[in-house]
Structure 1
Amino acid sequence: MILYIAEKPSLGRALAEVLAKPQQKGDGFIRLGNGDVVSWCIGHLLEQAQPDAYDPAFRQWRLEHLPIVPREWKLEPKAKTRAQLNVLKKLLKEADRIVHVGDPDREGQLLVDEVINYCGVPAAKREAVQRCLISDLNPAAVSKALAALRPNREFVPLSVSALARSRADWLYGINMSRLCTLQGQKMGYQGVLSVGRVQTPVLGLVVRRDREIADFRAKPYYEVFALLQTGDGERFKAKWQPSDACLPWQDEEGRVLSRRLAENVIRRIGGQPGKVVGLEQKRHRQAAPLPYNLSALQIDAARRFGLSAKQVLDICQALYERHKLITYPRSDCRYLPEEHFRQAGVVSEALARVSPELVPAVSGADLSRRGKAWNDKKVEAHHAIIPTTRAMDGERLSRGERDIYTLIARQYLAQFYPPWEYDDRRVEVDIAGGRFIARARQQIHPGWKALFATPGRQEAEPEDDPELQAGLPALSEGESLLCVQGELLDKLTQPPRHFTDATLLAAMTHIARYVTDAGLKKILRDTDGLGTEATRAGIIELLFTRAFLTREGKQIKATEAGCKLIASLPDSATTPDMTARWEAVLDAISRKQAGYQSFMAELEASLPPLLEQVRPESFRGLQGRAPATKGRRRRRPRQAAGRKATV
């Protein structure tokens, strides 16, 4: 008997759909017509054991127990899914062969591997386990994946990397969370003050942004523009560029802080001749943005529809599992396998049926155009999120499902459109010895931009560059102009903006910009940010559940508890630097370039000095009770809370 173990029931049903008929449904499995069986996990069936599994004394949270460091790690079944674990245990004993069908990522690899190991499968049978990688639940894609099984042992390093991450998060989160919670209780706070390798740096981002805004003091600055006229009477504006002699009256960003200086420029240029001293024109061709990975999709959906990261992920899971309309959604990749290019016609027909509004976009697409998105070298475990070949009536989808599907479909179609072409022009003018610059952008061909055009808005003009003009007169170098008048603009420096769902996700995805160490910047760029595609939504939601963050309209702000928690911790715990170092080693472990033992030994050695750096006095004045955490066990409420602190 072959036993196929899927990551979740929906994947199990997709597997069974293409396997031998007739089939008999059992409790937690499907028996196939040839005697083989499809069964499944329900996410992780096992979890790291609680501290009291190592010593009953650890049931009580006490400072003298810290740090808690297991000598032999234990897993325990999750209470809600214990029955399914028992089903798999029985089936594993009966099976002659095992096919691992976890999701194509680090966690998907671990969660099936750990069940196989926990259930005591003999070494010889474990060695023969095969791996099936599925990223599209439609029958043709599933059949193709089943025909391309690989030895599961090839993926052991991926599983070891995930195991190292899980245990390291436990060690760090359990110990730091217990310490901070106990110190907070001494000051009168009745709630869990959880600390995690990822959640705490995310909270730190928000706390520091709020602090910058609170400390911000607006200061006036001044800009000078010259209204210029050609001999033919055409007019345009150019902005004054202060010379080095003006540096004493400028801030670090080059803004002029002296009104008298600006007024002096106005007096000098009014009615004076100007001369064109520099001309530059450059043609640009910008290719379509790549298909979505999960973070890019969540950011766009937050901006366009005001959806949270979790809402987008939940919608994507429904589109993937229930409707089978998109490929695997928890992807961190924005490229596609080259073989997928042949499916462009079928995929385009299908998405046009699901989203009739995209029929004109399909008609305008050149399906023979092969862009940079198709690149086997950029695709590892999974590829970008795109529509599948399945079609259905889009009216059967919810509003949110239609919106997200259309976003994904439009981004896919953009790959078959030509580049956006535009000319950037730059004119430098000398007026009374002062230097003035005018810039303009003119669209030559909309290309893929036509798919994203909003009625009434000129897509060729970037929203974030108000100094770009729609056009400039035809000019030649040395041409004389007249400065009709000068214009003085009084402005105020603006504080940074509070985070929103979109900008916080963007910050997590591009966290390298918040790091000063050049080496760490590169690591975070290469590992695609803070957290993973699969965990970012949950991390943000956890911070709200813990009452560390709150929403005011679209703005995300830190609460008093969140601020005081960050104030109590050393910088290494509240910035992304430590995560960058971890991710570098975890990635090396997955590639067999680093070892599990050395990673864990270094972490264990770092715990005692890290615990000593926590500042209990920072919790002074923190009163009240935090809201209860969802899923908390009645028998061991604090332990359940501690588990959630490990992310």
Structure 2
Amino acid sequence: MRLIIAEKPSLGRAIAAVLPKPHTKGEGFIRAANGDVVSWCIGHLLEQAEPDAYDPAFKQWRLDHLPIIPAQWQLQAKPQTRKQLTVLRKLVKEADNLVHAGDPDREGQLLVDEVIEFLKVPAAKRQAMQRLLVSDLNPQAVSRALQQLRSNQEFVPLSVSALARSRADWLYGINLTRAYTIKGRQGGVNSVLSVGRVQTPVLGLVVRRDEEINNFISKPFYEVQAAVHLTADTPLSFYANWQPSDACAAHQDEEGRVLNPKLAANVAARIRQQPAQVEQVERKEKKQAPPLPFNLSALQIDAAKALGMSAQQVLDGAQSLYEKHQLITYPRSDCRYLPQEHFAQRQQVITAVSAHSEALATACAQADSSIRSQAWNDAKVGAHHAIIPTAKVLPAGRLNSTEQKLYALIARQYLLQFFPHYEYADTKISLIIAGGLFSATERETLKPGWKVLLPQKENQTSAKAPLPPLKAGQVLWSGEPLLQEKHTQPPPHFTDASLLAAMTGIGRFVQDKSLKSILKETDGLGTEATRAGIIELLFKRRFLQREGKSIRATALGQTLINALPEASTRPDMTAHWEKQLQDIAHKALNYAAFMQPMTEQLHQLIHSALTADTVQFSGLAGSAANTAGRRKYSSGKKSVSRAGRAGKSKSTAGRSRKKTPAAGS
């Protein structure tokens, strides 16, 4: 008997649907006519044991227990899914062959692997286990995947990477959450002060941005524009901007803005009613390829900008489109490329899009399916590929408003791949006026290409008059100059879109220059699967709050960041961890080489916590922020320990197993 173990019931049912009929449904499994059995996990059936499983004394939160570092790691069955674990135990013993059908990412790999390990499956059976990679729940796609089984041994490094992440997050989250919650209580704060390797640096980004805005002092700066006429007697043709020379550096800020009003006024006076000689005319014709299909973060960022959705709303909506409706491929992907074999299905997908989206029907008709964009690239596709529509067609009216909007966004991004490049010309005119350099630029659309699919507000061209045709050496006339006083502006508060963009492009925020260069090639803070949950957890813990579209830190969040060692609140350490976890997945680093230095660093961080001054927490005593998590702290029961670590959503079993991250995340 061949046993296929899916990650969740919905995937199990999709796999069973393509196996020979009739089917026999049992408690927690489906048996096909050919003897194959499909069963499933319900998300993680196992979880890291609580500290008191290692020592009952750890039920009490005490500083002298820290750091808690298990000598032998233990997993325990989750109470709410223990029954399904029993089902799998029996089926695994009966099976001759095993097929791993977890989601195609590192957490999905670990989720089934840890069950197999926990059930003490014989080594020979484990070695022979195969891997089924399903990223599209439609029958044709599932059938193809079943014909392309691989050895599960190929994915062991992915599982080890997830295991290292899980244990490191446990060590970091359990120990630092206990340490700072106890120190906070000594200062009068009864909240659970959860600390995590991802959530805390994300909170740090918001706290520092808020502080930068609060401390910002606006300063005036000055711009000079020459009013250029073709001759002294003709109307204004265009404005050219002054380009300060190196001699002006002492009067500029780090961004090149001129701060000296006398200097700007002097330049304006010198160029008034003066000849303006064209020094150079540069015109370059260029092409821009369509943007790649979405991965999850790119979808969340675009949906936040275009639709005002939070990261969690996008994730939930995309998950529904994938699991419930089977209208899109696997939504938790970190990849923006497609396998070459998918190109053969393009016409069926375009037809399905036309059926589902009235707004995109014209675009579907205009799409040129002979165009093969850069998105189809096997070399850049790993266990999963970009998020795209499937070929499935549903009856009208099945999707809710959120699902419809997300589907249209994903579908439009896919259709872009079948439109020609955007072609344009950039022109730059350089002028010398009274010895000073001035320039004017213009972008002219030659062929709109894929940009015809963008909403008009995203595809606006400049309303100013085009630059006239000019030649080097031509003499024009500088009339009445424009001298403008402007003021520096503070950075904007984070929004859902900009915070997600910061998490994915975290290299901009790290301080270590060597790490900054490494991060250009890695994902940044968190993963595609966890970023939405991280942000939501910070709101749940009352560390963040919304003010309109802005995301701001609460007093509790500010106090926690100010109390922690700086290393814990910066993204450098976490991003370095993520790089190492990727190295483990790609066999460039082993488990021990990651865990040993991390454990040594944990000792240093706990020492900092033990010596931290509790006075900084006293300002929160008695405040509204002090009520968050108060009931969870009051005793040494196991639930208190979980409050500092889990933060897991109880909605939709199996969907939240890696969606809402631990405090150690």
Q: TM-score range by the shorter chain?
A: over 0.9
How has the CA–CA distance of structure 1 residues 81 and 626 changed in structure 2, closer, same or farther, with 3 Å as cutoff? farther
Q: Which residue of 2 is the match for residue 487 of structure 1?
A: 482
Q: Which residue of 1 is the match for residue 44 of structure 2?
A: 44
Confirm or deny that 1:472 pairs with 2:467: yes
Structure 1 residue 394: Cα displacement: 4.6
Write out per-residue CA displacement over residues 48-93 of structure 1, whole angstroms, 9 at most, x where no aligned residue: 0000000000000000000000000000111221121111112112
**Distance between the aligned counterparts of 1:528 and 1:453, measured in 2?**
29
Write out per-residue CA displacement over residues 544-603 of structure 1, whole angstroms, 9 at most, x where no aligned residue: 111111110000011111111111122211111112222232222222222212322222
Give 2:613's match in structure 1, choosing from 603, 616, 619.
616
Q: Which amino acid aligns with 1:432?
A: A
- State the TM-score, normalized to the length of structure 2: 0.93
Are the counterparts in 2 of residues 240 and 435 from structure 1 also a CA contact under 8 Å?
Answer: yes
Confirm or deny that 1:107 pairs with 2:107: yes
Are the counterparts in 1 of residues 632 and 640 from structure 2 also a CA contact under 8 Å?
Answer: no
Confirm or deny that 1:560 pairs with 2:555: yes
Q: Which amino acid aligns with 2:523?
A: D
Q: Which residue of 2 is the match for residue 363 of structure 1?
A: 365
Are the counterparts in 2 of residues 546 and 626 from structure 1 also a CA contact under 8 Å?
Answer: no
Counterparts of residues 77-226 of structure 1 (less than 5 Å): 77-226=77-226
SS of equivalent residue, structure 2 residue 390: coil
Give 2:244's match in structure 1, choosing from 210, 226, 242.
242
Q: Which amino acid aligns with 1:501?
A: D
**Distance between the aligned counterparts of 2:500 and 2:632, measured in 1?**
25
**Distance between the aligned counterparts of 1:453 and 1:156, measured in 2?**
45
Structure 1 residue 123: Cα displacement: 1.9
**Distance between the aligned counterparts of 1:373 and 1:324, measured in 2?**
22
Structure 1 residue 432: Cα displacement: 1.6
SS of equivalent residue, structure 2 residue 644: helix
Are the counterparts in 1 of residues 203 and 553 from structure 2 also a CA contact under 8 Å?
Answer: yes
Counterparts of residues 208-357 of structure 1 (less than 5 Å): 208-231=208-231, 233=235, 235-357=237-359
Give 2:442's match in structure 1, choosing from 440, 460, 466.
440
Q: Which amino acid aligns with 2:200?
A: T
Confirm or deny that 1:582 pairs with 2:577: yes
Counterparts of residues 21-40 of structure 1 (less than 5 Å): 21-40=21-40
**Distance between the aligned counterparts of 1:285 and 1:620, measured in 2?**
59
Structure 1 residue 128: Cα displacement: 1.6
How has the CA–CA distance of structure 1 residues 225 and 450 changed in structure 2, closer, same or farther, with 3 Å as cutoff? same
Write out per-residue CA displacement over residues 84-104 of structure 1, whole angstroms, 9 at most, x where no aligned residue: 111111211222211110001
How has the CA–CA distance of structure 1 residues 308 and 608 changed in structure 2, closer, same or farther, with 3 Å as cutoff? same
Are the counterparts in 2 of residues 629 and 641 from structure 1 also a CA contact under 8 Å?
Answer: no
**Distance between the aligned counterparts of 1:111 and 1:403, measured in 2?**
32
Q: How high is the sequence identity, in percent, across the aligned residues?
A: 59
Q: Which runs of 5+ in 1 are unaligned?
A: 462-467
Q: Which residue of 2 is the match for residue 605 of structure 1?
A: 600
How has the CA–CA distance of structure 1 residues 630 and 555 changed in structure 2, closer, same or farther, with 3 Å as cutoff? farther
Structure 1 residue 3: Cα displacement: 1.2
Write out per-residue CA displacement over residues 208-244 of structure 1, whole angstroms, 9 at most, x where no aligned residue: 1111101100011111111111146461111111223
How has the CA–CA distance of structure 1 residues 324 and 503 changed in structure 2, closer, same or farther, with 3 Å as cutoff? same
Q: Which residue of 2 is the match for residue 518 of structure 1?
A: 513
Q: Which amino acid aligns with 2:239?
A: K
Q: Which amino acid aligns with 1:139?
A: P
Are the counterparts in 1 of residues 177 and 645 from structure 2 also a CA contact under 8 Å?
Answer: no
**Distance between the aligned counterparts of 1:590 and 1:23, measured in 2?**
38
SS of equivalent residue, structure 1 residue 76: strand
Q: Which amino acid aligns with 1:57?
A: A
Q: Which amino acid aligns with 1:335?
A: Y
Write out per-residue CA displacement over residues 251-303 of structure 1, whole angstroms, 9 at most, x where no aligned residue: 22111112222222222222222111111111110000000000000000000
Moved more, 263-272 or 384-393: 263-272
SS of equivalent residue, structure 2 residue 456: coil
Moved more, 520-529 or 50-59: 520-529
SS of equivalent residue, structure 1 residue 594: coil
Structure 1 residue 417: Cα displacement: 0.8
**Distance between the aligned counterparts of 2:631 and 2:304, measured in 1?**
25
**Distance between the aligned counterparts of 1:616 and 1:418, measured in 2?**
62
Q: Which residue of 1 is the match for residue 429 of structure 2?
A: 427
SS of equivalent residue, structure 2 residue 502: helix
Are the counterparts in 2 of residues 294 and 385 from structure 1 also a CA contact under 8 Å?
Answer: yes
Structure 1 residue 605: Cα displacement: 2.0
Q: Which residue of 1 is the match for residue 664 of structure 2?
A: 646
Q: Which residue of 2 is the match for residue 464 of structure 1?
A: none
Confirm or deny that 1:459 pairs with 2:457: no
**Distance between the aligned counterparts of 2:426 and 2:465, measured in 1?**
10
Moved more, 21-30 or 107-116: 21-30
Structure 1 residue 248: Cα displacement: 2.6
